[in-house]
Amino acid sequence: MQKKAPLARYIHSFVKKLALERDKMAFISGPRQVGKTTEALSIGRSFNEHHYYNWDQTQFKKKWAKSPDSIIEDFTTNNPNNTKLAILDEIHKSRTWKQKLKGLYDVNHDRMCFLVTGSARLSIYRKGSDSLMGRYYHFRLHPFSLRELLAKRPLMPDETFKNLFEDEPKKISVDNVKILSRLQEFSGFPEPYLAHDRKILNLWREGRKDKIIKEDIRDLSNVRDISQIEVLLELLIDRIGSPLSVQSLREDLSCSHDSVTRWLGHLQELYYYYPVTPYSTSIARSLKKEAKIYLYDWSEVANDGARFENMVAGHLLKACHFWQDTGEGKYSLHYLRNKDKKEVDFLIIKDKKPFFTIECKLNQTQLDTEYQAFQKVLKCPHIQLVHDHGHYRKISDNTYIMSAEYFLEWLV
């Protein structure tokens, strides 16, 4: 049976328009098995000619080591009007990848395009001095979200704000509830979501974690005690949505503070989890240090409330990254908590100013008023987001109670 070509992902047209069509390289990074290679090949099919190279291919490794320019010989099209794309997957595993890529691009960018995919190392080597500066744009690919699965174009921040807070509420399709339920159970990673099968989910999840621990982390660092990393992953799952104490993890693992910090750094670089830091600007008695953590694969979280909160966090972070990667400004995701233990789950910051806050509830449709401890300073809309279906209530000009199937449709 012939397989259908995979659907283009939400970043597809932006990678082409902002980077490749403007003589820039495109970098696509994201969690393992999120669909980076599939999306790169989908972009490649829109060119007259494209070739795919993976660092794990022995023949390519030899070519790259001897002369990266030799891959140009694989392109048979001499017509200058024909478009050409070289897709370079996982080349960050080569120690000199940046220098060689710079040379390859500088000599050939006037006659072809370059797209680079990977995960940890692309992020790591973007820090500090960067010999590729000005030659590429970076796009972070996230798992499926509600709006993407509805096959609707991603919204820009002003559109999101208008739909949520300025326009009259719209009627929501019954598909929203079905898709969201499936997302919550199977995650937004393409393979388990599309399979819609618990056995496939379990097999996929174990395989992904095994590769992260035994392959990816060893590519990053000489980690000797893999069993400790395995235990750390289990400990993190139980701490989703709570401020993370490295000291507590150190005690549970019976190892040094430096070791735990280093392992956490590796797992973050590999897109296993992400931190959400407290926002303290102008917030009296605010917590300033401990971040909350969430997983890219929220299906690992057993507790219903924590899983729902994690899924919402994933949608919000996806929006922040997309808006920033496409030039809409600087966006970041935070939470609020003061020393009186009043807390709001999420706050999006837009260009250093509060955009809106979110409090997640499984089924509480009565307004939780803890957000009021921060509202006088933030002066931005607040949404109490509930898992239960069919709720939309405007409490005041800046306060709403909404069901997740409504709110999440108006993101990315």
406/400 Cα distance (integer angstroms): 12
311/127 Cα distance (integer angstroms): 28
Each residue of 294-319: pLDDT tens digit? 999 999 999 999 999 999 999 999 99
Q: What share of the chain is helix, strand, coil (3-state, %, to 5)?
A: 45, 20, 35
340/336 Cα distance (integer angstroms): 12
DSSP reduced 3-state for 344: strand
* 124 CB neighbour count, 10 Å cutoff: 14
Pair type for strands 392-396 and 399-403: antiparallel
Mean pLDDT on 134-139: 95
Is 67's pLDDT higher than 70? yes
What is the rounded average pLDDT for all residues in the chain? Answer: 93
Residue-wise DSSP of 359-412:
EEESS--SPPGGGHHHHHHH-S-EEEEESSSS-EEEEETTEEEEEHHHHGGG--
Task: State the pLDDT at residue 1.
Answer: 47
Residues 328 and 364 sit within 8 Å (Cβ to Cβ): no
Each residue of 216-267: pLDDT tens digit? 887 777 777 788 999 999 999 999 999 999 999 999 999 999 999 999 999 9
Task: State the pLDDT at residue 121.
Answer: 61
Mean pLDDT on 46-64: 95
Any idea which of 15-19, 61-65, 321-325 has the lowest mean pLDDT?
A: 61-65
DSSP reduced 3-state for 27: strand
- φ/ψ (deg, to 5) at 293: -120, 150
Each residue of 358-369: pLDDT tens digit? 999 999 999 999
Determine the residue type at 148.
Answer: E
335/324 Cα distance (integer angstroms): 19
Task: State the pLDDT at residue 310.
Answer: 99
Task: State the pLDDT at residue 94.
Answer: 87
Any idea which of 191-195, 287-291, 319-323, 343-347 has the lowest mean pLDDT?
A: 287-291
* H or E stretch at 357: strand 353-361
Any idea which of 91-105, 133-147, 294-308, 325-339 has the lowest mean pLDDT?
A: 91-105
190/372 Cα distance (integer angstroms): 39
Task: State the pLDDT at residue 4.
Answer: 56
* Residue 331, strand partner residues: 350
Any idea which of 19-23, 88-92, 294-298 has the lowest mean pLDDT?
A: 88-92
Determine the residue type at 209.
Answer: K
Domains of the chain: 12-140 (3.40.50.300), 146-410 (no CATH)
Residues 311 and 183 sit within 8 Å (Cβ to Cβ): yes
Task: State the pLDDT at residue 128.
Answer: 45
Those residues with Cβ within 8 angstroms of residue 324's Cβ, 6 or more apart along the chain or in another chain: 330, 331
Burial of 5 (0-12, 13-18, 19+ CB in 10 A): exposed
Q: How many degrees, rounded to 5, is the angle at CA 115 between CA 110 and CA 118? A: 150
- Nearest to residue 368, comparing CAs of 390, 399, 341? 399
Global confidence as pTM? 0.95
